[in-house]
């Protein structure tokens, strides 16, 4: 165990500058200070702090394995400390994702989102941290399916013998809290039958057929934890690349189509996923449209070398333009479905309260 490295992304929305659109730089400073202390004390190997929209993202490497109480408690304390700053500045939604009062061993189920992957570091190991704002974990289903199972995206599935036998997808049913493992390419249609419903079935992990860990995603649904709408879950994922895994460019190619996801304004609308640079990860128009950023690192004995801001590339301009056009088109529907989410998805928002007021005015026919 000791020689393996764990790449953890732990994130939370604990307040934004001016609404719900971007993390204040002071919160990033607080998080850096906390994590540097932990690094100096040899509790973690390395860290990088960033934000995707209003989500504070802690990227941490360590040798304590997935679900380590020590690492989760460090992340929790960091979010609590940053929340103090957030409250001092009276930022909007200060502390909103910290759903519990005290830490109880693992941040999962307490509000923050977690994606963690433990693996043996290869002689050269490119790892990509992919983070989204204004959407739900199932938003990763389509792009990650394309990256790891669709040869029209990943050429290596056909022409590289080490990818040719395919991958195993671990899919979580977030409503029933259960998990199923499906092999691709053999069970591709079964996989799609599930993950085509991204509000319920969510890719949790992807492993190469020989057991090599390839990717992990956060799966928490805040509304299912809190029983009411408390913001969308704004997921993150760790994806390894190259040398028998999809190339970095094949991973990014999975995001070259602005697919429609649930989230956006009030977590209640469908909108296009726009891949952007970190500096453009701020959800302005109609609190969106939803954004995705990708930071590429090399690992050097767990040290994080980089990052490279991978969507900061004119090659993605047409994707962004298409996303902006789709945003225009969707907005023209105003409050009508399918721009607004369907009733099942709106169950945890403020809409049921509005509808219940009308209940007594209905006349029986
Ligand atoms: C989406 C999100 C925002 C808010 C919206 C209303 O995840 O957080 O779109 O839902 O800005 O926020 P309140 O109700 O706090 O005014
Ligand atoms: Mg927010
Ligand atoms: Mg957010």
Q: How far is the CA of 105 from the centre of ligand 1 (A)?
A: 29
Ligand number with the minimum distance to the CA of 266: 1
Residue 61 predicted with pLDDT over 80: yes
Give mean pLDDT, residues 16-42: 98
Q: Whose CA is nearest to atom 2 of ligand 1?
A: 266
β-pair type (113-119, 291-300):
unpaired
**Percentage of the chain modeled with pLDDT above 70:** 99
Distance, CA of 239 to chain centre: 11
Q: Which two tokens stand for residue 163?
A: 């990818």
- Rounded to an integer, what distance in angstroms lies between the CA atom of residue 262 and that of residue 174? 15
Bridge partners, 168 (sequence order)? 183, 207
What is the position in ligand 1's atom list of the atom closest to the CA of 93?
Answer: 15
Instruction: Give the CA distances from residue 99 to residues 79, 80, 234, 332, in Å, rounded to whole numbers and listed in that order.
Output: 12, 11, 15, 35
Which is catalytic among the residues 204, 232, 233, 282? Answer: 232
Which is catalytic among the residues 13, 54, 55, 133? Answer: 13
Which residues, by Cβ under 5 Å, contact ligand 2, an ion? 13, 20, 54, 93
What is the position in ligand 1's atom list of the atom closest to the CA of 92?
Answer: 15
What is the position in ligand 1's atom list of the atom closest to the CA of 231?
Answer: 7
DSSP state of 3: T
What is the position in ligand 1's atom list of the atom closest to the CA of 232?
Answer: 7
CB 49 within 8 A of CB 28: yes
Q: How far is the CA of 120 from the centre of ligand 3 (A)?
A: 32
Separation of first and last alpha carbons in the chain = 67
Confidence of residue 306 (pLDDT cuts 50, 70, 90): very high
Confidence of residue 345 (pLDDT cuts 50, 70, 90): confident
Number of C-beta neighbours around residue 179 at 10 A: 12
Q: How far is the CA of 16 from the centre of ligand 3 (A)?
A: 9
Distance, CA of 70 to chain centre: 22
- Rounded to an integer, what distance in angstroms lies between the CA atom of residue 107 and that of residue 67? 9
Residue 209 is a catalytic residue: no
Q: How far is the CA of 150 from the centre of ligand 2 (A)?
A: 34
Instruction: Give the CA distances from residue 197 to residues 120, 132, 169, in Å, rounded to whole numbers and listed in that order.
Output: 33, 18, 15
Q: Whose CA is nearest to atom 8 of ligand 1?
A: 231
Instruction: Give the CA distances from residue 13 to residues 23, 27, 47, 238, 245, in Å, rounded to whole numbers and listed in that order.
Output: 8, 11, 18, 19, 32
Residue 1 predicted with pLDDT over 70: no
Q: Which two tokens stand for residue 289?
A: 């449209």
Q: Whose CA is nearest to atom 13 of ligand 1?
A: 266
CB 205 within 8 A of CB 215: yes
Residue 189 is a catalytic residue: no
Write out pLDDT tens, residues 62-112.
Answer: 999 999 999 999 999 999 999 999 999 999 999 999 988 888 888 988 899
Global pTM exceeds 0.85: yes
β-pair type (291-300, 274-275):
parallel
- In this prediction, residue 228 carries a pLDDT of 77
Residue 347 predicted with pLDDT over 50: yes
Number of C-beta neighbours around residue 217 at 10 A: 29
Residue 201 is a catalytic residue: no
Number of C-beta neighbours around residue 99 at 10 A: 16
Confidence of residue 335 (pLDDT cuts 50, 70, 90): very high
Q: How far is the CA of 276 from the centre of ligand 1 (A)?
A: 21
Q: Whose CA is nearest to atom 6 of ligand 1?
A: 266
CB 149 within 8 A of CB 142: no
Which is catalytic among the residues 48, 201, 229, 348? Answer: 229
Q: What is the DSSP string of 122-163?
A: PSSEEEEEEEEESB-GGGGHHHHHHHHH-TTT-THHHH-HHH
Write out pLDDT tens, residues 193-244.
Answer: 999 999 999 999 999 999 999 999 999 877 777 777 777 789 999 999 999 9
Bridge partners, 204 (sequence order)? none
Confidence of residue 145 (pLDDT cuts 50, 70, 90): very high
The preferred substitution site among 94, 232, 287 for testing ligand 1, maximizing ligand atoms within 8 Å of CB, is 287
CB 293 within 8 A of CB 252: no
Of the candidates 328, 207, 349, the residue with the CA atom closest to the CA atom of residue 266: 349
Ligand 1: residues whose CB is within 6 Å?
19-20, 134, 231-232, 265-267, 287
Q: Whose CA is nearest to atom 12 of ligand 1?
A: 266
- Rounded to an integer, what distance in angstroms lies between the CA atom of residue 233 and that of residue 236? 9
- Rounded to an integer, what distance in angstroms lies between the CA atom of residue 139 and that of residue 198? 7
- In this prediction, residue 265 carries a pLDDT of 95
What is the position in ligand 1's atom list of the atom closest to the CA of 264?
Answer: 1
Residues 6+ away with beta carbon under 8 Å from 32: 47, 49
- Rounded to an integer, what distance in angstroms lies between the CA atom of residue 10 and that of residue 279? 20
């Amino acid at each position: 165990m000791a020689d393996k490295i764990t790449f953890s992304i732990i994130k939370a929305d604990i307040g934004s500058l001016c609404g719900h659109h971007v993390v204040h730089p002071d919160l990033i400073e607080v998080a850096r200070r906390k994590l540097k202390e932990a690094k100096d004390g040899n509790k973690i190997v390395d860290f990088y702090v960033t934000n995707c929209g209003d989500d504070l993202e802690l990227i941490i490497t360590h040798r304590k394995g997935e679900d380590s109480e020590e690492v989760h408690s460090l992340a929790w304390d960091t979010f609590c400390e940053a929340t103090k700053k957030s409250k001092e500045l009276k930022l909007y939604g200060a502390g909103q994702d910290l759903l519990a009062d005290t830490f109880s061993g693992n941040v999962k189920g307490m509000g923050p989102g977690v994606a963690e992957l433990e693996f043996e570091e290869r002689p050269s190991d490119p790892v990509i941290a992919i983070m989204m704002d204004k959407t739900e974990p199932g938003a990763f289903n389509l792009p990650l399916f394309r990256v790891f199972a669709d040869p029209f995206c990943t050429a290596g599935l056909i022409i590289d013998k080490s990818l040719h036998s395919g991958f195993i997808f671990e899919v979580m049913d977030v409503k029933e809290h259960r998990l199923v493992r499906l092999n691709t390419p053999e069970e591709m249609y079964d996989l799609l039958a599930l993950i085509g419903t991204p509000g319920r079935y969510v890719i949790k992990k992807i492993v190469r057929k020989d057991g090599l860990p390839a990717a992990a995603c956060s799966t928490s649904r805040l509304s299912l934890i809190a029983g009411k709408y408390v913001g969308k879950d704004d997921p993150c994922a760790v994806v390894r690349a190259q040398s028998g895994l999809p190339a970095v460019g094949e991973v990014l190619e999975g995001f070259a189509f602005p697919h429609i996801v649930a989230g956006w304004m009030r977590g209640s609308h469908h909108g296009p996923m726009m891949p952007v640079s970190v500096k453009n990860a701020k959800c302005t128009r109609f609190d969106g449209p939803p954004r995705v950023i990708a930071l590429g690192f090399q690992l050097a004995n767990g040290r994080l070398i980089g990052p490279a801001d991978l969507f900061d590339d004119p090659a993605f301009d047409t994707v962004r333009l298409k996303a902006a056009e789709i945003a225009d088109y969707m907005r023209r529907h105003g409050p009508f479905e399918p721009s607004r989410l369907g009733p099942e998805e709106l169950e945890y928002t403020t809409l049921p309260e509005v509808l219940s007021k009308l209940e007594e005015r209905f006349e029986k026919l």
